[in-house]
Chain A
Amino acid sequence: MKDIMRIKCLLSEDIESLLNQQIKKEAHSSSLYLAMASWCNRNGFDYSSEYFFKQSDEERYHQLKLYKYVLDMGGTAISPEINNIKQEFNSFREVFEDALEQEVAITQSFKNIAAACMREQDFVTFEFLNWFMKEQREEEYKARRALELFEVIGEEGTGRWEIDKHVNKIKYDSETAGE
């Protein structure tokens, strides 16, 4: 008897489901960053707004990368429904605290998928996830560095104005960063 299941799709049902959940999480991140960009713009933080617009685009790109992978492997990629996006923040600092929290959650989520791939010996997907692992290193670094500006510069006087100006200059240029 032919193994039709395997011929049609490389992914197991569990991995496919985890990847679809991740697609939703990336879409959620993208929308959340868009809301942050809006809040920053409304409150006069132009550079931070621009920073979050870029972050939102990146998350959307991550979502598509996962989406196409699921399709390429013969799976069913599900276009996610996104709701409950936080639109209001209590302070400039809270925006960055939430951004870091979001990145930590995304990293944890990728770790869970990688662990499932190891359990199932799905090394093809595991290899695909390496790109995201590397990316999360950069994302977490940038989010952490942005939050650290609040400690280094301080919010007194023109502090927030200075922080805003510096946010867009954050770069992760570690020689091991790759692309």
Chain B
Amino acid sequence: MAAAKLAISSTYTYTEVFSTPCGAVYQSDREGCWYIDFAGKLVRFDYRSLLKLKKSIYRVDIEQLLLDTSKSPEIELVFICACNHCYLLNLLQIISLKQLLEGTFAMLELNQIIHDRLYRTVV
């Protein structure tokens, strides 16, 4: 996997998992967590929080929001239990975050396959 090493802080290094023009996800091997750079902020997610974020974003019915003719603003509050941060996103941002997460999980899955095939083979 192409691993662009970025130095977000001076202490640890972070590997870019996936990025789009709207944001990026980095993994910290040392801390065992991910950082999502999206909507103007950088937020730390552990394993469970990342899965919860994925679930809550995937659950948003984008089609229904698009077809909604009421005058209410197309804004969604994404709040994750046991996480200090929340996202207040408009429709386009939700679509972007969904793309970012889909790419991220595809890459993490690919990473797992690579580990299984290359490093976990007992000789």
Binding site for B on A (CB under 8 A): 1-9, 13, 76
Contact of A1 among B17, B47, B48, B51 (CB under 8 A): B17
User: Is B47 within 8 A of A8, CB to CB?
Assistant: yes
The answer to whether A2 touches B51 (Cβ under 8 A) is: no
B32 & A1 in contact (Cβ 8 Å cutoff):
no
Q: In the complex, are the beta carbons of B115 and A3 less than 8 A apart?
A: yes
**Known contacts A3-B115, A4-B29, A76-B48; 12 further A-B pairs (Cβ under 8 A):** A1-B1, A1-B15, A2-B29, A2-B32, A3-B111, A3-B112, A4-B32, A4-B33, A5-B47, A5-B111, A6-B115, A9-B47
Question: In the complex, which residues 78-119 of chain B have their Cβ closer than 8 Å to any Cβ of chain A?
Answer: 108, 111-112, 115
- With an 8 Å Cβ cutoff, the count of chain B residues facing the other chain is 15
Q: Which residues of B contact A (CB under 8 A)?
A: 1, 3, 15, 17, 27, 29, 32-33, 47-48, 51, 108, 111-112, 115
Q: Which residue on chain B has the smallest CB distance to residue A3?
A: B115
Chain A residues lying within 8 Å of B108, measured Cβ to Cβ, are 3, 5
Measured CA separation A4–B17 after assembly (Å) = 12
Q: Is the CB of B27 within 8 A of A2?
A: yes
Contact B3 A4 (CB under 8 A): no
B39 to chain A, nearest CB (A): 23
List residues of chain B with CB within 8 A of the CB of A1.
1, 3, 15, 17, 27, 29, 111
28 A-B pairs in the complex with CB atoms less than 8 angstroms apart: A1-B1, A1-B3, A1-B15, A1-B17, A1-B29, A2-B27, A2-B29, A3-B108, A3-B111, A3-B112, A3-B115, A4-B27, A4-B32, A4-B33, A4-B47, A5-B47, A5-B108, A5-B111, A5-B112, A6-B112, A6-B115, A7-B32, A8-B32, A8-B47, A9-B47, A13-B51, A76-B48, A76-B51
